[in-house]
Structure 1
Amino acid sequence: MLNKILALIFIIFISLTLKAQINLSGRVADQEYKALPFVTVKISGPQNRVNYTQTDSLGFYTFKNLQTGKHSVVFSALNFKAINQLFTLIKDTIINVQLMRNPNTLVDIQINAKKALIEKKIDRTVFNVENSISAIGTDALELLSKVPSVRVLNDKVSLVGKGEVNVMINDKLVPLSADELANYLKSIPSGTIAKIEVITNPPAKYDAQGNNGLINIVLKKATAEGFKGSVNTALTQANYITASAGGNLNYRRNKITLSSNFNIRKGSLVPFEQSDVFYPAQTWNIVNKDRNFRTVPSGQIGIDYQATKKTVLGLSYNGGVTSFHSEENIKTTVYNPTNGLDSILNSDANAKIMSHYHSANVYLKQTLDSTGKQLTINGDWFKYSDDKNRFFNNTSYFQNGEIIPHSFAEYLSTSKQNIDFFTLKTDVDLPYKTFKLSFGTKLSFINNQSDLAFYKARNAVYELDPGQTNLFNYQENTQALYVNFSKTIKQWDFQVGLRGEYTQIDGLSVNEQNRNEYFRLFPTLFIIYRANDKSTFSVNYGRRINRPAYRKLNPFRWYSNQYAYAEGNPFLQPSYNDNIELSYTYNIYTTSLSFSKTTNGFNDVNFIDAATNTQAAQPVNFITGYHYQLSNVINFNIAKGWETINQFDVFYNASNSSIAQTLGSLNGFGAYFSTLNQFVFNPSKTILGEVSFWYQFPTVDGLNKNKKQYNLDLGIKTLFLHKKIQLAITASDILKTNRYRSSSLVNNIRQEYNNYYDSRQLRITFRYNFGNEKIKQQDRKPGNEEERKRSN
Structure 2
Amino acid sequence: MKRILLLSIGLIFMLNAKAQFPGMGGGQKVTVTGRINAIILDSLTNKPVDYATVSLLKVKDGKAVNGGVTDEKGKIVLQNVAPDEYKLTIGFMGYKTKTILIKTTPEKPDYNVGSINLSSTANTLKEVSIVGQKAVVENKIDRLVYNAEADATNAGGDATDVMRKVPMLSVDINGNVQLRGSSVRVLINGKPSGTMANSVADALKMLPADQIKSVEVITNPSAKYDAEGSGGIINIITKKSNAEGVSGSVNATTGTRQNAGAFNLTAKTGRFSVNTALGTQIAYPQESRVVFFNQTTANNVTTGVLQDGTSDWTRQAYNGSLGLDYDFNAYNNISTNAKYTRFYNGGPGSSAIFNNNTPSGNIISSTDMSNGNLDWNMDYKLTTKKPGEEFSISGQLTTGKNTNEFVNDYKTASGTPLSYIASNNVGENKEYTAQTDYIYPFSKTVTFEAGGKAIFRNIQSQYGAGQDFDYTQNVGAAYSTIAFNLTKKIQFKGGLRAEYTDISSTVGKNDYFNLFPSAILSQTIKGKTTLKLAYNRRVQRPSLAYLNPFLNKSNLSFDFQGNPDLAPELSDNFEFGYSTYIKGSIINASIFYRNTQNIIEALNKNVGGRILSTFENVGTTESYGFNLFASYNPLPKWTLMSNIAINTYEIKSRPDIQGMNEGTFLNYNFFMRSANSFKGGWSLELFGVLNSPRYTYQSKTEPMVFYGAAVKKDILNKKGTIGLNVLNPFKRDLHIETVTQGENNYQSQNIYYPLRSFGLNFSYKFGKLKFTEKKKIKNDDIKQDQNQQGGQMGGVQQ
Normalising by the smaller structure, the TM-score range is 0.7 to 0.9
Task: Give the aligned partner of residue 128 of structure 1.
Answer: 147
CA distance in 2, matches of 1:441, 1:697: 41
Greater mean alpha carbon deviation, residues 491-500 or residues 205-214: 205-214
Aligned with residue 475 of structure 2, among 475, 478, 489: 478
Task: Name the SS for the 2:387 alignment partner.
Answer: coil
**Cross-structure match for 2:122:** none
Is 1:274–1:755's contact at 8 Å kept on the other side of the alignment? yes
Q: Does 1:524 align with 2:506?
A: no
Match of residue 705 from structure 1 = 700
Q: Which position in structure 2 is the counterpart of 1:606?
A: 604
Question: Which one is further off, 626-635 or 700-709?
Answer: 700-709
Instruction: Give how far 1:177 is off.
Output: 7.5
Give the letter for the 1:647 counterpart: N
Distance 2:494 2:324 in 1: 35
The residue number in structure 1 matching 2:315 is: 294
Aligned position for 1:333: 354
Once residues 288 and 108 of structure 1 are traced to their aligned partners in structure 2, the CA distance between those partners, rounded to angstroms, is 72
Counterpart Cα distance in 2 of 1:583 and 1:57 = 37
Match of residue 412, structure 1, among 403, 422, 425: 422
Secondary structure in structure 1 of the residue aligned to 2:135 = coil
Contact 1:118–1:126 (8 Å) recurs in 2: yes
What SS does the corresponding residue of 1:787 show, helix, strand or coil? Answer: coil
Query: Cα–Cα, structure 1 residues 327 and 444, in superposed 2: closer, same or farther, change >3 Å?
Result: same
* Contact in 1 for aligned 2:562/2:615 (Cα 8 Å): yes
Match of 2:588 in 1: 590
Which position in structure 2 is the counterpart of 1:564?
558
* Greater shift in the superposed pair: 102-111 or 414-423: 102-111
Query: Per the alignment, in what secondary structure is the counterpart of residue 554 of structure 2?
Result: strand
Name the residue aligned to 2:458. 447
Q: 1:58 Cα shift?
A: 9.4
Give aligned-pair identity as a percent.
24
Greater Cα offset, 279-288 or 570-579: 279-288
Of the candidates 152, 158, 173, which is equivalent to residue 192 of structure 2?
Answer: 173
Aligned partner (choices 185, 194, 200) of residue 219 of structure 2? 200
Matches within 5 A, 1:608-623: 608=606, 613-623=609-619
Structure 1 residue 648 displacement after superposition: 1.9
1:356 has 2:375 as partner: no
2:231 is paired with a residue whose SS is coil
Name the CA distance, whole Å, in 2 between partners of 1:427 and 1:261.
Answer: 28
1:711 maps to a residue whose letter is F
- Cα distance in 2, alignment partners of residues 471 and 301 from structure 1: 35
Normalised by the size of structure 1, how large is the TM-score? 0.78
Alignment length (residue pairs): 672
Deviation at 1:395, TM superposition (A): 2.4
Deviation (angstroms), 1:727: 0.2
Map 1:205-604 onto structure 2 (within 5 A): 205-238=224-257, 242-270=258-286, 271-279=288-296, 281-335=302-356, 341-396=357-412, 408-433=418-443, 434-453=445-464, 466=465, 469-488=466-485, 489-508=487-506, 513-587=507-581, 588-604=586-602
Q: What is the correspondence of 1:75-114 to structure 2 with a 5 Å cutoff?
A: 80=89, 107=116, 113-114=132-133
Q: Say if 1:634 and 1:177 are closer, same or farther in 2 by CA, change over 3 A.
A: closer
Number of the residue aligned with 2:40: none
Which of 674, 683, 688 is the equivalent residue of 1:688? 683
State the match for 2:52 in structure 1. none
CA RMSD, 1 decimal = 3.3
Matched with 1:189 is 208
Change (3 A) 1:37 1:388: farther
Cα distance per residue 1:107-160 (max 9 Å; x no partner): 599997432333332222222233445633344345434434333336462325
Structure 1 pair 746–107 and aligned structure 2 pair: CA distance change class (3 A): farther
Cα displacement (A) at 1:516: 0.9
Residues 738-766 of structure 1: CA deviation (Å, up to 9, x unaligned): 54333232115443333344333222111
The one of 758, 762, 766 equivalent to 1:766 is: 762
* 1:173 alignment partner, SS class: coil
Structure-2 change in CA distance of 1:124 and 1:417 (3 Å): same
CA shift at 1:498, angstroms?
Answer: 0.7
1:395-415 CA deviation, whole Å, 9 max, x = no partner?
245xxxx56x6x522221101
Equivalent residue, structure 2, for 1:96: none
**Following the alignment from structure 1 to structure 2, what is the Cα–Cα distance between the partners of residues 427 and 475?**
25
Q: Distance in 2 between matches of 1:136 and 1:160?
A: 24
Deviations 1:543-580 (A, max 9, x none): 00010112322323111245421112221101111111
Greater displacement, 250-259 / 722-731: 250-259
CA distance in 2, matches of 1:561, 1:664: 26
Please say if residues 125 and 197 of structure 1, whose CA atoms lie closer than 8 Å, have aligned partners that are also in contact. Answer: yes
Counterpart contact for 2:191–2:776, Cα < 8 Å: no
**Residue aligning to 2:709:** 714
Paired position in structure 1 for 2:624:
628
How big is each residue's C-alpha offset from its partner over 1:229-287, in whole Å with a ceiling of 9 and x where there is no partner?
A: 2223210213xxx3233311112222122211112222334344333335564543333
SS in 2 for 1:442: strand
Q: Deviations over 1:625-674 (max 9, x none)?
A: 11111111111212121112211233222112113332472322233221
Separation (CA, whole Å) in 2 of partners of 1:424 and 1:279: 49
Match 1:640 to one of 636, 639, 642: 636
CA distance in 2: counterparts of 1:101 and 1:157, whole angstroms:
55
Provide structure 2 residue ranges, at least 5 long, that are not aligned to the other structure: 1-54, 71-77, 93-97, 103-112, 119-128, 778-798
Aligned to 1:457: none
Q: Is the 8 A contact 2:167 2:629 kept in 1?
A: no
Worse-superposed segment, 139-148 or 105-114: 105-114
Distance 1:305 1:592 in 2: 42
Aligned-pair distance for 1:767?
1.8
Once residues 427 and 206 of structure 1 are traced to their aligned partners in structure 2, the CA distance between those partners, rounded to angstroms, is 11
Q: Kindly tell me: are residues 483 and 633 of structure 1, through their superposed partners in 2, closer, same or farther at Cα, counting changes over 3 Å? A: same
Tell which deviates more after alignment, 653-662 or 485-494. 653-662
Q: Distance in 2 between matches of 1:726 and 1:562?
A: 48
| Partner secondary structure for residue 547 of structure 1 | strand
**Can you list the C-alpha shifts for 1:687-740, whole angstroms capped at 9, x where unaligned?**
111111121233534443332221211111101121122101111234557543
Runs of 4 or more, structure 1, over 6 Å off, are 32-35, 56-59, 99-105, 108-112
3-state DSSP class of the match of 2:530?
strand
Deviation by residue 1:22-65 (Cα, 9 ceiling, x = unmatched)? xxxxxx9753999647579xxxxxxxxxxxxxxx9999xxxxxx
Q: Distance in 2 between matches of 1:362 and 1:542?
A: 30
What whole-Å deviation, never above 9, does each CA across 1:167-188 have from its counterpart, x for those lacking one? 1111112356765444444433
Amino acid at match of 1:536: T
For residue 634 of structure 2, what is the amino acid of its counterpart?
I
5+ long unaligned stretches in structure 1: 1-27, 41-55, 60-76, 84-98, 336-340, 454-465
Separation in 1, partners of 2:342, 2:117: 41
Aligned to 2:499, what secondary structure does the other structure show? strand
Paired residues of 2:366 and 2:407 also in contact (CA < 8 A): yes
Distance 2:277 2:388 in 1: 32
Q: 1:277 to 1:58 in 2, by over 3 A?
A: farther
The alpha-carbon deviation at position 426 of structure 1 amounts to 1.1
| Matching residue's letter, 2:646 | V
Residue 675 (structure 1) aligned with residue 672 (structure 2): yes
User: Which piece of structure 1 moves more, 489-498 or 280-289?
Assistant: 280-289
